[in-house]
Amino acid sequence: MAQVSTSESVTDGAALDPGTVVSAIVVLVVAYAAGRVLSAGLTAVADRLAQHRFRVTLLIPLSKFAVYGAALYLIVTTLFELTSAQLVAFSGLLGAAIGLGLKDLLADIVGGLILVVEQPYQVGDKVAIGDHYGEITDIGLRSTQLMTPNDTVVVVPNFTFLNDAVANANDSAAEMLVVVEFYIDVDADADRARDIVEDALLTSPYVRVSPEHRYTVLVGDDHYYRTLTGKAYVTDLRNEYPFKTDVTERVLDAFAREGIESPKVPAGGGQELPGE
Amino acid sequence: MADGVTIPIEQLRAAGLGPQVERLSTAVAEYLDADKTLDRVDSNVAVVSDPFGGRAALLEYAAELLGDRARRHSISGIADADELPAIQGERALILEGCHYLYRRDIDGFDRLEEFLERLAMTNTLVITGWNRYSWQYLRAVERIDEAFPLTITLPPLDAEQIESVVRAHDDGPYPDYVDTGEAGRIKTLDLVRHDVSLPGDRALSVPLVRPNVSWLVSWSIWDDDESIEAVVFEKLRRLSHGTPGIATSLWDRCVRDGADGRTIAPAYIDDPVEECDRISDDAAFLLWLVVALEGVERAQLADMLDEDAIGTEIQTLANKGIVRVGDSEVRLRPLGLHPAVEELERRGLVWP
């Protein structure tokens, strides 16, 4: 009985000639450019929307991953026309490469995919990752970029998210809770000081008060001084520092007018204020 | 209904304020029929509208209903609010300009809180007028709506109602409606947002395209004189966003200040105010103050803002046609309201 062999060989598929390789490189370059253009365009649209920008920013990493995924699919199936045998052989090579030193890169890419699916944060969020705090400006395949308040761009490998806690201050909302602290002398009128801080919070140009966005002023007693902690939401997380500055300036002016004094350090030294 | 213009009650009803008029009539009638005790504080009324939105006309109507029983008092500025009228001992009080009872600054709510305290301790029927943007802010931070069981909010008007307002405002003779072959700038499609409820108390805001049916229908009989008239008033409604005081300002500008004063065409009605974008944060807050208070003295602005910056910011807004600068006061221009509100909404400064 004649036997018909249908097995594939590693040498089947498209020829790996310079033309195919160049085509693959062109596809990758075009995909990279398309990803950058898409990201820039969506960011521009999002900035124009101001308060509603988070509806657009969540599309940024999704669109980039879709472009890279389509490019990879095009290269694998159309250009190289990899057969099953070739895919198996390639997987073996990839495994060896990972064992030899690409495991961190792969972990970052896997982290990026998980970020896109789980979305613990998205572009525009204010997050704390490790020692870094700032606004997420880009989520890429391998890394996430955030801009600190000092205008420093921090590139965080996506793998970091898989192991470290990430604190998201606004959870993809425009509003964000901001905390402002003041310290007054133990003999100062704490009630009056509290009223001043509350008024300053409520009359700030940047504040947002609603049943979902409540405010409070807490008074703490720390033996040599009293702490007033004002907490309120801002209309936009980008107003975090203008809000703090506005409230602080007006409260300190009011304290000076009303004779509400700063804490005095006792003779012979005493307890330091937080942050000193 | 524009500042200083009063419209008879029949015109108020024809202009679409029938439900609001009835609610006010009912509140006044119930108060006059019943003996109000200290336990019943359910008669205080807040009339809330946009600037130039017709608040004065409704308060005028309340004054007519109450006659000699009511005393009228108007607060014209923040400083003016230092002398609150007496409430105790009055049968009824009509108080205009209540948005001047607060300042957006430390200790700025003292006068308002004193007023609300007096309201709570009196038998007097108090009918108050409020700027909508101030009302929404104070409702969030001071919960003033709890002191006013009846809140009457004046809605935007449609084209027919705008026509009624304009005819009450302009005694005539009316211009001829002409067809210049074009209608000028106007949107035929609106982008509106519709909230779709999702499980778990969440909502998804979906943008929907809504055609401007009245505008499209008015175009369908374009060759008819009546349709040109309809197009004119529809365009007035669109550019004024249904605010009667702004519609009359636009009408005055196009008819009285127009080319020959005897004709009007849809293309003549245009909004001369440029968009209010690319302004600083200080200018945006100044804009909010002017929109919410309708007029603010420069000295008071200096208290609430960085004194060094306000001159420049005021000039920027004046150059855009948003505000009018007097010797000591900055006032909102009617045609500047909606560009200003658009920018404030974009920045999230309009309170819901």
Helix (H/G/I), strand (E/B), else coil: B259: coil
Direct distance between the N- and C-terminal alpha carbons of chain B, in angstroms, rounded to an integer: 25
In angstroms, what separates the C-alpha of B324 from chain A's closest C-alpha? 22
* Residue-wise pLDDT tens digits, A112-129: 888 888 888 888 899 998
Q: Do A50 and B108 touch (CB under 8 A)?
A: no
Residue of chain A with shortest Cα separation from B103:
A203
Q: Do A209 and B140 touch (CB under 8 A)?
A: yes
Q: Which of A174, A199, A242 sits opposite B348 (nearest CB)?
A: A174
pLDDT-wise least confident of A149-158, A201-210, B161-170: B161-170
Helix (H/G/I), strand (E/B), else coil: B289: helix
What is the distance between the alpha carbons of residues B46 and B41, in angstroms, rounded to a whole number? 13
Residues of chain A found within 8 Å of residue B205, distances taken between Cβ atoms: 55
CB pairs under 8 A between A and B: 43
Q: Which of A56, A203, A217 to mutate to test the interface with B (most CBs of B within 10 A)?
A: A203
Q: Which of B106, B284, B347 sits opposite A203 (nearest CB)?
A: B106
Per-residue model confidence (pLDDT) at position A61: 83
Per-residue model confidence (pLDDT) at position B96: 92
Mean pLDDT across B116-123: 86
DSSP state of B108: T
* Residue-wise pLDDT tens digits, B288-315: 999 999 888 888 888 777 667 788 888 8
- For helices B281-293 and B132-141, the axis angle rounded to 10 degrees is 100
Please determine, for residue B201, whether its predicted confidence score (pLDDT) is greater than 70.
no
Per-residue model confidence (pLDDT) at position B3: 43
Q: Do B346 and A199 touch (CB under 8 A)?
A: no
Q: Is the ipTM of this complex over 0.95?
A: no
Q: Is the dihedral of CA B232, B236, B237, B239 positive or negative?
A: positive
Residues of chain A found within 8 Å of residue B285, distances taken between Cβ atoms: 205
Mean pLDDT across A21-30: 86
- Longest pairwise C-alpha distance within chain B: 65
Please determine, for residue B4, whether its predicted confidence score (pLDDT) is greater than 70.
no
Q: Do B105 and A203 touch (CB under 8 A)?
A: yes
Q: Which of A203, A205, A242 sits opposite B108 (nearest CB)?
A: A203
Mean pLDDT across A234-261: 94
In the block, tokens 């395949």 appear at A141
Smallest Cα–Cα separation from B242: which of B17, B6, B53? Answer: B53
Which of the four pLDDT bands, split at 50, 70 and 90, describes residue B167?
Answer: confident
pLDDT-wise least confident of B49-58, B172-181, B247-256: B172-181
What is the distance between the alpha carbons of residues B349 and B14, in angstroms, rounded to a whole number? 34
Residues of chain B found within 8 Å of residue A243, distances taken between Cβ atoms: none
Element (H, E) at A133: strand A132-139
Residues of chain B found within 8 Å of residue A199, distances taken between Cβ atoms: 105-109
Which tokens hold the place of A129?
A: 């990752």
Q: What mean pLDDT is reported for chain B?
A: 79
Mean pLDDT across B57-72: 87
In angstroms, what separates the C-alpha of B281 from chain A's closest C-alpha? 9
pTM of the entire structure? 0.79
Per-residue model confidence (pLDDT) at position B256: 66
Which of the four pLDDT bands, split at 50, 70 and 90, describes residue A43?
Answer: confident
What is the distance between the alpha carbons of residues B93 and B66, in angstroms, rounded to a whole number? 9
Q: Which residues of A touch B (CB under 8 A)?
A: 49-51, 55, 174, 196, 199-200, 202-203, 205, 208-210, 235-236, 239, 242, 250-251, 254
